[in-house]
Amino acid sequence: MVAVAAVVTVTGAVAGTLSALEEDDAGGGRADEARPSVTRSFRPVHEHVPPSPSPSPPVSRTASASSASSAPRTSPAPTPTPTKATGEPGTAAPSARLYRHPGSQVLDWVTAHPDDPRHAVIADRIADRPAAVWFADFTPDTITARVRAVTSGGAAQGRVPVLVPYAVPDRDCGGHSEGGAPDLAAYDDWIDRFAAGLGPEEVIVILEPDSVAQAGCLSAAGRADRFASLARAGRVLKEAGPRTRVYYDAGHSGWHAPGKQAGWLRQAGAASAASSDGVFSNVSNFHTTADETAYDRAVLDALGGPAHLGAVVDTSRNGNGAPPDGAWCDPAGRRIGRAPTLTTGEDRIDAYLWVKLPGESDGCKGSPGTFSPSYAYDLARGPGR
């Protein structure tokens, strides 16, 4: 999953949501203001391990403008009969404890299209849900202020923001979401500045989607260096924010075997209380919550470490599970999954989060990372399982 910034790209495990990006002063914006950005999900071209009952490839997160090559496609205009959210897994009310960032493509669309027949469904089932905020552009001079804008916004409401730093060097192994810092020394400095924007209140950090699961493209020395940098990043983030929770990349249930993934995670610091609160999986992907919780527990068992280590699952698009044919680009028949919550009722599963924002295209329903109301409506209109 890979992500890029400025339209951010991700491959491996798709991630797309909000991205706090720098706005060009020449355009009249403030450089230190967190703002939404385009994100996208791709399927990386790389091996991914053992077949699962419903195998699906890693998906990417966000897309850069330069990688957006697919022409937008639109679906026939719907004639919905919107209903309010019910208690089914795909439409249950989200936790009030999670922070909903006020700037996103879906909120912009809802505001601009009050009379669209899809408005009620998209507003109720997607726009009203809290989602992660991505930081995928390498802009050291403004990253502290932009992180602080999000964390202070959450603190003012007494809610928990979810942040996604996505700037590791060699991101996406040169694929659709390539980018990131020029080298690990620059990345370490960027993380220091990122951490300076964290405050004393509770924050969840989804640290570098695909950075561990996709590390097979690196040499052994390159992996060791990246993992050392990620371990350092976790320590820096937790030292800077006394209530910051940091989760490491576990890929997803259709990718690496739990033992292999745990071995890499251990090298990256995920088993250390000083740097980690556990692992995350399924970012921008479609595997069922049941498959992911079982996989995450197996990874945690193999990982070892403190008993408090847990897992978070991206449930933004997994309501109907992964497509049986392995389709990854805005596949038909998918649904939103369980609402974001910090109370799962599941042992060792700390949260269900929307890391990828439903409706942001992988590149088939629209340009990669752009919001597609037709896709959002298709995801939201039916119950998932």
The helix/strand/coil state of 301 is helix
| 108 catalytic residue (yes or no) | no
Catalytic residue among 172, 314, 350, 378: 172
Distances (CA, A) of 89 to 83, 258, 290, 358, 377: 15, 26, 12, 15, 17
- Cα separation, 82 vs 126, whole angstroms: 13
User: What residues does 135 pair with on adjacent strands?
Assistant: 165
| 25 catalytic residue (yes or no) | no
- Cα separation, 346 vs 143, whole angstroms: 35
Catalytic residue among 210, 249, 314, 378: 210
CA angle in degrees (0–180, nearest 5) for 216-220-225: 100
Using the Cα atoms of residue 325, residue 331, residue 332 and residue 338 in order, give the sign of their dihedral.
positive
| 314 catalytic residue (yes or no) | no
Look-up of token digits 């251990």? 266
The helix/strand/coil state of 195 is helix
- Cα separation, 232 vs 251, whole angstroms: 20
Catalytic residue among 291, 330, 362, 378: 362
- Helices in the chain by DSSP H: which ranges? 105-112, 119-122, 140-157, 184-196, 220-240, 258-267, 289-303, 373-380
- Cα separation, 184 vs 239, whole angstroms: 20
Catalytically active residues, by annotation: 172, 210, 362
